[in-house]
Each structure stands twice: as C-alpha cells, then as structure tokens.
C-alpha cells in the first residue's frame, strides 16, 4: 500500500507511515496530504493529530473539517528528540513548531541565547543544519546517520519522557468504517445558545460513551463561532453511538455533522 505523509524523509510522520505502508511519498504540509487523499491521488495518508505535551495539531483539525476523508486507524508513537548540528557552535535551532515547543524547557535551560526557527517539519530542520553550520535541528537521532556530517549533541531532550504523538491513518471517504473501538466526529452547530455544548456532550454521557478528546476550533465564518471535534471510545456499529449521532443531527439541524469513521489503535515503537 502507498501512503503520503509529511516530508522530506526522516520526519516522525515518515516513521509512523513506514509502520503501515510499503511505499511512502511526501508533501510539505498536512493540508496537502489531506487534499491528496481526498482527491484520490493516494489511497492512504498519515497526519499528526495530537501530542501529549503540546496538544492538538491545529492545521490537521482545520484541514479535516474542510475535506471529506475517513480515519481508518490511529497510530501512537513515542517521540524522542535529539539535538543535531555540525558542531556546538550554532546560533539558531530549526525544527517543526511542535518539536520546538516539546523541547521548550531544554532549550531555555541549555541554549537561552539561541534563536528558534519554525520550519515545515523536523526533517526540513535537519536539512537546514546539514547545509549551514550555524543551524542546529531537533529531530529523530537517526537523521545523523547515513554519511551525514551532523553530530548528535544531545538525546532525549523532550520536556517529558512520556512524549508521544498520535497520528491518523486517512483513507478516501468511501472507505469510512463503522467497525472499531474509537470514532471521530466533527460537529458544526452554526448556532449559539446557553447549554448547546452541554446538550451535545449529554448525548454521549447519557449512553455511557466515554469521550477521549473534545476540541473547539474557530469556524472562520465569524468571531465566536466554533466547530467541535469529538473522539469517543465506541464504534458506530454500536446502537448507542447511532442513537447519539441521530440526536446530534437533530440538535445541529442548522449546521452539519461529519463522521470520520470508526477505527482501532496501533502502538508503534521504534
């Protein structure tokens, strides 16, 4: 199976995709990956959705709300960052904004003078560090192998040892499944009144459906207007989930509900 994910080669997304795909291609943004799956260019896509330290990857949430794709699996991997550079003499640390944030305390403590540069991915930062001795990168330590002139200056620099990122394995919307222990939903009420969010949450609580994530994102239509992203620990094949979905459809009849499908979890170690 072919999959598309965040490039260039050497990103954490690449490592997660390699666990589920034979052949991995790359795009420069999460939005481009989701588009490539939605338009049928790829049968699978792998995108980061949330991190245990830094929280949601908002570009992913927003791109999922705008395009029709299905989640067919979630992949959870530990994230262990290394500091990579040609020497200790660097001025700037380049990495993905999520990785910089996951190492905030380490950087403030050890390199308070270093500038930080957010780039499209950790592997893009590694590329910058290979080309320019004034740049260090944060990424997986294996980026320093393969004849690279980069040194691993420090390992395990993430602020929490338990650092882990959750990725979605995406497929075209036609492959959306009712089977699985989790389900992701995006709800746009398009109205605002006291107790609206409570009503939505009660559809799950009343049926003893556990919520594993709730996130609100601006709709972009007007200030104070939100979309809600829900992950629940139950599959659409269960009648209690179908009943909850029916009730939500009724509550948000001015807006819409997107069911991204049910799926299971895969834990990948590397």
Ligand X SMILES: O=C(O)C(=O)C[C@]1(C(=O)O)C=C[C@@H](O)C=C1
51 in contact with ligand X (CB under 6 A): yes
Residues 59-88 that bind ligand X (CB under 6 A): 79
Nearer to ligand X, 2 or 246 (CB): 2
Contact positions with ligand X (CB under 6 A) in 168-197? none
Give the shortest CB-215-to-ligand X separation in angstroms: 15
Name the minimum Å distance from CB 260 to ligand X.
19
Identify each DSSP E strand in the chain by its residue range: 2-6, 23-27, 44-51, 55-56, 69-78, 82-85, 92-95, 115-118, 135-139, 151-155, 164-172, 182-188, 211-218, 226-232, 256-267
26 is a site residue for ligand X (CB under 6 A): no
**Residue of 73, 86, 98, 262 interacting with ligand X (CB under 6 A):** 98
Distances (CA, A) of 124 to 57, 117, 154, 213, 218: 18, 11, 19, 30, 29
| Using rule CB under 6 A, residue 7 touches ligand X | no
DSSP string, 200-263: HHHHHHTTTPPEEEEEEEE-SSSTT-EEEEEEESS-TTSHHHHHHHHHHHHHTTTSEEEEEEEE
> Considering the complex, what minimum distance in angstroms separates the CB of residue 246 from ligand X?
35
Which of residues 4, 13, 252, 257 is near ligand X by CB under 6 A?
13
121 binds ligand X, rule: CB under 6 A: yes
Site membership for ligand X, residue 143 (CB under 6 A):
no
99 or 186: CB nearest ligand X: 99
ω before 8 within 30° of 0 (cis)? Answer: yes
Which residues make beta-bridge pairs with 5?
Answer: 26
For position 11 contacting ligand X by CB under 6 A, the verdict is yes
Q: What is the closest distance, in whole angstroms, from the C-beta atom of residue 130 to ligand X in the complex?
A: 15
Least gap, CB of 179 to ligand X (angstroms): 27
Strand bridging mode 92-95 / 115-118: parallel
């Amino acid at each position: 199976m072919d999959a598309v994910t965040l490039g260039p080669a050497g990103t954490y997304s690449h490592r997660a995709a390699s666990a589920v795909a034979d052949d991995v291609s790359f795009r420069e943004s999460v939005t481009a990956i989701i588009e490539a799956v939605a338009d049928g260019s790829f049968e699978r896509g792998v995108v980061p959705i949330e991190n245990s330290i830094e929280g949601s990857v908002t570009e992913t949430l927003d791109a999922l709300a705008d395009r029709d794709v299905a989640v067919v699996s979630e992949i959870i991997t530990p994230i262990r960052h290394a500091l990579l550079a040609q020497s200790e003499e660097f001025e700037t640390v380049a990495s993905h904004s999520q990785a910089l944030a996951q190492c905030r305390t380490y950087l403030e403590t050890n390199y308070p003078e270093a500038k930080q540069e957010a780039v499209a991915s950790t592997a893009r930062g590694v590329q910058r560090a290979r080309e320019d001795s004034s740049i260090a990168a944060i990424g997986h330590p294996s980026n320093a192998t393969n004849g690279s002139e980069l040194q691993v200056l420090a390992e395990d620099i993430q602020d929490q040892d338990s650092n882990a990122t959750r990725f979605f394995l995406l497929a075209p919307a036609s492959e959306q499944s009712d089977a699985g222990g989790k389900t992701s939903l995006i709800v746009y009420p398009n109205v605002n009144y006291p107790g609206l969010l409570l009503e939505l949450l009660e559809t799950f609580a009343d049926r003893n459906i556990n919520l594993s994530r709730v996130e609100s994102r601006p709709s972009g239509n007007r200030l104070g207007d939100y979309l809600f992203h829900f992950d629940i620990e139950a599959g659409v094949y269960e009648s209690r989930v179908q009943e909850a979905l029916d009730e939500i459809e009724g509550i948000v009849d001015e807006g819409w509900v997107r069911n991204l499908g049910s799926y299971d979890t895969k834990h990948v170690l590397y």
